[in-house]
C-alpha cells in the first residue's frame, strides 16, 4: 500500500470510489489544511519519537516512566491542555500522565501508555533507523509511536485553530504492560475519564495493518490450579487406597478443559506452567517452580497456571463456572482448587463501536487511504481501552503508529504509517467535534 497524497491520486481514488458505489467525498478546506500541517510535522515528530524511545521506560523503571511523562508534558501544555501527574505509589507503579483540553464539543478520550516491556537490564534499549521507512527500538510501535501520532494530530488541530473548541482528554498510563494492584485503583483515573467522555480512541498499534482498526478486544484473566493427592510407592498407584496421584488429576482437569471448552468462538485458555512432584515450591509472582521427586513415588502435589481470553463478561463468568465444575470432579483420593486473578476485561463489539469505525473508514476513504475494516479480536491482545469501552457511546483502538515485532527485540515501526494514522486521527477528531 502506498502512502502518498498527490492531488492526482486523490482525484483518481474519488472517481474510482464513485464508480464502485462507495461513498467517498472530497476533504473539506479545513481537512485539507489539517493534512498539510500533519505533512509538515513528520520530521520533527520522528525526531521526538527517537528522543522518547531512547528513554528506558520499562514498567518497573519508575524514573524512566516519569521522564517520558516530563518530555510529553510541555508539549501538551503548549497546546492548551491542563496536565497533571497522578502518582502511582498506591498501586505500586510510577503513575499516569493526564492531559485535558476543556471545550464545548463532544468529549473524546484518547488512550495511550508511557511504559514498555523492556526494563533497564534488557539489551534492547536504543532507537535505530533501519532504512528510510523503518525504525527499530523499544516502544517504537508499542506504543510511543502512538503517543507521537496523537500529539501530531492535536498539534495540527491547534495550528489550524480547530482545537480551540474541542473537549479532549488524553490519559497516558504508566503501567499498561504490567498493571499495578489493586487494578481498580490502578485504572480509577482512566475509568473516571471515560465516564465523563462520549467517545474513546486507543492509540495502540492493533494488528499492524493500516487497513484495519479494532472494535473489539478479548479480555485476559489468570488462573491457577492446585492439586493434592495421596502419596505412596508407585507400585500402589491406581489402587483403591491410593488413587491416581496429583499429576494424573491435573492431567484429567486440563484434558477435560480441552474436551469440553475448546472451540467456542473467541474463547481460549492456555496452560503456561505445569509442575508436579513429591516436593514442590512454587512462586506465582516469579512464575517459577522447583520440584524434587522420584519415579517410584506417587506425586502428592501439582500446580498449573494459565490465562483465559474472553470477549465479554458473560462469556468469562460462564467459562469460569464450567472450569470450577471440571476441577471439582476429582479422581479418588485427590482434590483440586482453581483460583482466578482478574486482568483486563473484554471489549465486546457494539453498534456504537461499529459506527465509530464507519466514521473512521469514511475519513480514510476521503483522504485517499482506502477502506478500514474491523480486526478479528483473536489477532489483538488486551489493552487499556477495554476498561472504558463500556462507559462510552463509541470506541475503537489500534489507530497508532504501526509496525511489527512487538514485545521482542525485533520491534520496528513503519514510518509510512505516520501520515496515514495521523491524518486519519486529526480529521476524525474534527468530524467528531462537528457531528
Question: What pLDDT, on the 0 to 100 scale, is given for residue 22?
Answer: 52
Residue 93 has pLDDT above 90, yes or no: yes
256-273 pLDDT, tens digit each: 999 999 999 999 999 999
Cβ atoms of 171 and 365 closer than 8 Å: no
2 within some domain: no
CA distances (Å), origin 337, targets 251, 325, 328: 14, 10, 7
324 and 357 share a domain?
no
Residue 301 shares a structural domain with residue 429: no
Mark whether 225 and 359 lie in a shared domain.
no
Mean pLDDT of the 349-364 span? 98
Q: What is the CATH number of the domain that holds 84?
A: 3.40.630.10
pLDDT digits 0-9 by tens, 152-206:
999 999 999 999 999 999 999 999 999 999 999 999 999 999 999 999 999 999 8
Q: What's the per-residue H, E or C state across the chain?
A: CCCCCCHHHHHHHHHHHHHCCCCCCCCCHHHHHHHHHHHHHHHHHHHHHHHHHCCCCECCCHHHHHHHHHHHHHHHHHCCCEEEEEECHHHCCCEEEEEEECCCCCEEEEEEECCECCCCCCCCCCCEEEECCEEECCCCCCCHHHHHHHHHHHHHHHHCCCCCCCEEEEEEECCCCCCCCCHHHHCHHHHHHHHCCCEEEECCCCCCCCCEEECCECEEEEEEEEEEECCCEHHHCCCCCCCCHHHHHHHHHHHHHHHHHCCCCCCEEEEEEEEEECEEEEECCCCEEEEECCCCECCCEEEEEEEEEECCHHHHHHHHHHHHHHHHCCCCCEEEEEEEEECCCCECCCHHHHHHHHHHHHHHHHCCCCCCEECCHHHCCCCHHHHCHHHCCEEEECCCCCEECCCCCCCEEECHHHHHHHHHHHHHHHHHHHC
User: Would you say residue 109 lies in a domain?
Assistant: yes
| Domain identity same for 209 and 223 | no
Name the domain boundary from 287, 320, 342.
Answer: 342
- What pLDDT does residue 13 have? 41
* 21 and 126, same domain (yes or no): yes
Both 31 and 149 in one domain: the answer is: yes
Length of the chain: 435
pLDDT value at position 23? 61
CA 358, 362, 365: angle at the middle one, nearest 5?
Answer: 135
* Residue 223 sits in the same domain as residue 211: no
Nearest CA-CA partner of 393 in 430, 342, 359, 365? 359
370-397: pLDDT as tens digits? 999 999 998 887 899 999 999 999 999 9
315 & 400 share domain = no
Contact 329, 225 (CB under 8 A): no
Q: Are 380 and 240 members of one domain? A: no
Question: What does the pLDDT read at residue 9?
Answer: 42
Cα 373 to Cα 146: distance, rounded to the nearest angstrom: 19
Q: Domain ends where: 318, 342, 366? A: 342
In which domain, by residue range, is 174 found?
A: 7-217+347-434
Number of domains the chain is built from: 2
State pLDDT tens for residues 1-55: 333 343 434 444 444 443 344 567 899 999 999 999 999 999 999 999 999 999 9
Same domain, 324 and 386: no
The mean-pLDDT minimum among 76-90, 96-110, 373-387, 418-432 falls in: 373-387
Domain C-terminal end among 342, 371, 390: 342
Residues 225, 192 within the same domain? no
The mean pLDDT of 68-81, rounded to a whole number, is 98
Residue-level pLDDT at 428 = 98
Q: Do residue 232 and residue 168 come from a single domain?
A: no
pLDDT score of 207: 86
Is 1 part of a structural domain of the chain? no
Please provide the distance, in angstroms rounded to a whole number, between the alpha carbons at the two ends of the chain: 30
Amino acid at each position: 500500500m502506498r502512502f502518498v497524497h498527490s492531488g492526482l491520486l486523490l482525484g483518481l481514488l474519488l472517481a474510482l470510489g464513485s464508480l464502485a458505489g462507495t461513498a467517498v467525498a472530497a476533504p473539506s478546506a479545513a481537512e485539507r489544511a489539517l493534512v498539510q500541517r500533519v505533512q509538515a510535522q513528520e520530521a520533527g515528530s520522528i525526531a521526538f519519537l527517537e528522543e522518547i524511545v531512547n528513554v528506558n521506560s520499562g514498567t518497573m523503571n519508575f524514573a524512566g516512566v516519569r521522564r517520558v511523562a516530563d518530555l510529553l508534558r510541555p508539549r501538551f501544555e503548549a497546546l492548551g491542555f491542563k496536565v497533571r501527574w497522578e502518582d502511582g505509589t498506591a498501586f505500586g507503579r510510577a503513575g499516569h500522565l493526564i492531559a485535558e483540553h476543556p471545550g464545548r464539543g463532544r468529549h473524546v478520550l484518547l488512550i495511550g501508555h508511557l511504559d514498555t516491556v523492556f526494563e533497564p537490564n534488557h539489551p534492547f534499549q536504543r532507537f535505530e533507523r533501519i532504512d528510510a521507512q523503518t525504525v527499530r527500538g523499544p516502544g517504537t510501535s508499542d506504543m510511543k509511536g502512538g503517543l507521537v501520532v496523537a500529539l501530531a494530530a492535536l498539534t495540527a488541530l491547534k495550528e489550524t485553530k480547530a482545537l480551540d473548541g474541542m473537549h479532549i482528554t488524553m490519559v497516558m498510563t504508566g503501567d499498561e504492560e504490567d498493571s499495578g494492584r489493586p487494578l481498580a485503583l490502578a485504572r480509577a483515573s482512566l475509568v473516571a475519564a471515560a465516564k465523563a467522555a462520549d467517545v474513546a480512541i486507543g492509540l495502540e498499534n492493533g494488528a499492524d495493518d493500516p487497513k484495519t482498526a479494532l472494535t473489539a478486544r478479548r479480555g485476559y484473566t489468570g488462573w491457577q490450579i492446585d492439586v493434592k493427592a495421596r502419596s505412596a510407592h508407585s507400585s500402589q498407584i491406581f489402587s483403591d487406597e491410593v488413587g491416581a496421584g496429583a499429576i494424573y488429576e491435573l492431567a484429567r482437569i486440563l484434558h477435560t478443559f480441552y474436551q469440553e471448552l475448546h472451540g467456542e468462538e473467541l474463547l481460549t485458555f492456555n496452560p503456561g506452567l505445569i509442575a508436579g512432584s513429591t516436593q514442590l515450591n512454587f512462586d506465582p509472582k516469579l512464575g517459577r517452580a522447583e520440584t524434587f521427586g522420584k519415579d517410584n513415588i506417587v506425586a502428592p502435589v501439582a500446580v498449573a497456571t494459565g490465562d483465559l481470553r474472553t470477549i465479554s463478561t458473560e462469556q468469562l463468568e460462564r467459562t469460569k463456572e464450567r472450569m470450577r465444575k471440571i476441577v471439582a470432579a476429582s479422581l479418588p483420593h485427590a482434590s483440586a482448587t482453581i483460583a482466578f486473578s482478574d486482568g483486563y476485561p473484554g471489549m465486546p463489539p457494539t453498534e456504537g463501536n461499529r459506527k465509530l469505525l464507519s466514521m473512521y473508514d469514511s475519513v480514510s476513504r476521503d483522504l485517499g487511504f482506502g477502506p478500514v475494516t474491523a480486526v478479528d479480536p483473536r489477532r489483538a491482545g488486551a489493552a487499556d481501552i477495554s476498561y472504558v469501552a463500556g462507559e462510552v457511546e463509541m470506541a475503537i483502538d489500534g489507530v497508532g503508529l504501526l509496525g511489527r515485532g512487538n514485545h521482542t527485540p525485533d520491534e520496528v515501526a513503519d514510518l509510512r504509517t505516520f501520515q496515514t494514522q495521523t491524518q486519519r486521527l486529526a480529521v476524525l477528531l474534527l468530524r467528531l467535534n462537528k457531528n
